[in-house]
Structure 1
Amino acid sequence: MSDTLTVRPAGPGDAADICALLNAVDLVEIGRPETDLGTVEADLNHPDVDLATDSWLAFEGGRLVAYALVWADSGPGRVDGDHYVLPGRRRAALRLLELMEARARVLAAGVRPARLRLQLNVAPTLDLSLLTRRGYRTVRRYQVMTRRLGPADRTPPPAPAGLVLRDCAADEADRRRAHALVEETFADHFGHAARAYEPWLDHLDARRLDWSLVWIASLPAEGDVAVLLTRDDRTSMGWLSHLGVRADHRGRGIGGHLLRHGFAAYAARGRDTVGLGVDTHNATGALALYEAHGMGLHYAVDTWELTLHPQE
């Protein structure tokens, strides 16, 4: 006789158990646990998530086997979701997909076309036939890339002529400028959602952001031309979250300089690895830039999308 399946909403007190589940999934999908408790807590405390309606925990025989979450802070008609399940737990996986889709229809009510998007490892613990049979399709692939750091990386690189970097630790105006540069330089990227400053801070979980690790690059008479936003709150590696160069200043070595500056900063902090995520179809040549500076594939993620038709 199979174990009884029970489902309930998640709560802040479930963070440690959810983190353990996600690390069990990590171990299967990427070979080691890489989910931090703070990341889970940030998701559960996000101001745009109502845990009572937007989250689910699935238990079989009293054991937590699956977790899902949806949110809609990326503009009309788009709902994003997370879905994690232990291998072989098809029944729990399907039930959470059904609940996510039903809630996504509510969140996107009145908007057409409406879509639900999931990010999944290219070889996930979720049985992908559950997605394809329900009408999901892959629309993008991202690579998580990493690079090992050593003592030689601690020396900051020479800057292109006239380029000056400043961090955003002390000045709120610089933090707002960093936001503006991210919005400008990522505006044409697939999946980018324009956000005002305060919602952007919520999206970033800025409570855990060290603004001394966010840099703006400027040139004489040309002003601010690029931004590098990083964070040092992951156990496994330093993370280069956003590297953006204004379109009229690309191809001048600024992106490569910011990348190497990030390497130097994290090597000086004692980190042995840095990572970032990149859209493999990025039209700015970001993937080639990262490969040219020694970054290699850690794992890949597919974006799956479901068009949300009205409930039959």
Structure 2
Amino acid sequence: MGTFPEWVEARPIEKTDADAWAALMNDVQVTDQNGENYSAEDLVEELGDPKMNTARDTIGLWVDEVMVAYGVVYWRKNLVDVDRLNTDSAVRGEWRRRGLGQALLTWEIASARELHEEHHPDVAEAELNSTVISTNVGAAALFTGQGFEECRYSFTLQRPFDEPIPAVGVPDGLRVVPFEPAYDEALRLTHNEVFMDHWGSTPKDEETWKVWFTGSRAFRAGLSFLVLDGEQIVAYANGFEYDADTAATGIREVYVGQVGTVRSHRGRGLAAVALTALMTQAAETGFKRASLGVDTQNPTGALSLYERLGFQQHTQWTTYRLPLT
């Protein structure tokens, strides 16, 4: 399990730890103002990912029956070029600057190397990525001290619905429809094609799609829209609702998890068509705002699209990378 201070208990995270883990995550949200609130049900679902081996891929640090820190390492089944593993970790605000973050990162690096050797040993290039909000003032020193470098920047954007949502016309010959399960597999394949040229994106297999996308408990089919050319999906916007965020903020927010347009139909404003359909439906059903995340170097110019539709920067995030090979 790595080397941790003797005054903490280090052990894998199990589903029975979900309440304690959620309490830790929500404490971190208060400290860092990252806007990410969690319920125990959210975390039980995450631990249910069939690819996750909790005994190997997770760790919780405990003091007097309180979870004070955690770490998780994620691997990907399908690759495009580089084996990019991801890590997620945090330490409660009052327990920071005691060496726990450094110990967690050391454990995560070792675990990532083991996962690379287990799942993709023939891939020559591997790296570990971690994304951290800018308000976590100690993160830069922690990561650079372990040899990481900054590699990508992203924003979380918000758009309140107290301002009119622009009407965006649907081009002739196309139509907009809400998501239905019959479209699920076609949407997965479309998403894989759309994001082929996006940094860090890899094709989503059916299992991953079910766990993290349309099979997620937060996915809202009624807030997800497809633009069809005949029966082909040419653009889409998927909506999610996180009950823990609503409980914490008192504001119903639709999170736009995925937006995209196939290459053959880009330049025609179809992402805006799908996204405004989503926002209009959300506003009509009691939601007060929309939010989404965007890579500042997105190759399709997504940031400028969102800004034209009234989204504004809310938080800023930095992704750090460490070569593993």
The two structures have a TM-score, normalised by structure 1, of 0.89
Aligned residue in 2 for 1:147: 159
What is the number of equivalent residue pairs in this alignment? 304
Question: Are residues 37 and 62 of structure 1, via their aligned partners in 2, closer, same or farther at CA, if it must alter by over 3 Å?
Answer: closer
Structure 1 stretch displaced more, 19-28 or 206-215: 206-215
Structure 1 stretch displaced more, 116-125 or 42-51: 116-125
Cα deviation, residue 199, structure 1:
3.0
Deviations 1:171-204 (A, max 9, x none): 2xx1111112111111100110112333322232
Aligned residue in 2 for 1:100: 108
Aligned: 1:83 with 2:95: no
Aligned residue in 2 for 1:226: 235
Distance in 2, Cα, partners of 1:205 & 1:107: 26
Aligned residue in 1 for 2:220: 210
Query: What are the within-5 Å matches in structure 2 for residues 188-267 of structure 1?
Result: 188-204=197-213, 206-208=215-217, 209-219=219-229, 223-234=232-243, 235-236=245-246, 237-267=253-283
Cα deviation, residue 205, structure 1:
6.5
Aligned residue in 2 for 1:178: 187
Aligned: 1:302 with 2:313: no
Cα deviation, residue 8, structure 1:
1.1
Query: What are the within-5 Å matches in structure 2 for residues 31-180 of structure 1?
Result: 34-75=37-78, 77-87=83-93, 88-109=96-117, 110=121, 111-124=123-136, 126-150=138-162, 152-153=164-165, 157-171=168-182, 174-180=183-189
C-alpha contact 2:187 2:233 (8 A) present in aligned 1:
no
Cα deviation, residue 243, structure 1:
0.9
C-alpha contact 2:237 2:274 (8 A) present in aligned 1:
yes
Deviations 1:3-52 (A, max 9, x none): 81221111101111111111111112227663344332222221111111
The two structures have a TM-score, normalised by structure 2, of 0.85
Question: Are residues 49 and 119 of structure 1, via their aligned partners in 2, closer, same or farther at CA, if it must alter by over 3 Å?
Answer: same
Cα deviation, residue 144, structure 1:
0.8
Question: Are residues 279 and 306 of structure 1, via their aligned partners in 2, closer, same or farther at CA, if it must alter by over 3 Å?
Answer: same
Cα deviation, residue 170, structure 1:
4.7
Distance in 2, Cα, partners of 1:202 & 1:226: 22
C-alpha contact 1:81 1:117 (8 A) present in aligned 2:
yes
Distance in 2, Cα, partners of 1:79 & 1:205: 22
Structure 1 stretch displaced more, 191-200 or 125-134: 125-134
C-alpha contact 1:84 1:126 (8 A) present in aligned 2:
no
Distance in 1, Cα, partners of 2:318 & 2:171: 36
Cα deviation, residue 74, structure 1:
4.9
Aligned partner letter, 1:66? A
Question: Are residues 223 and 103 of structure 1, via their aligned partners in 2, closer, same or farther at CA, if it must alter by over 3 Å?
Answer: closer
Aligned residue in 1 for 2:20: 17
Aligned partner letter, 2:268? R
Distance in 2, Cα, partners of 1:90 & 1:159: 56
Question: Are residues 156 and 17 of structure 1, via their aligned partners in 2, closer, same or farther at CA, if it must alter by over 3 Å?
Answer: farther
| Uncovered stretches (5+) of structure 2, i.e. residues with no partner | 247-252
Report the 3-state secondary structure (helix = DSSP H, G, I; strand = E; otherwise coil) of the residue aligned with 1:283.
coil
Structure 1 stretch displaced more, 93-102 or 285-294: 93-102
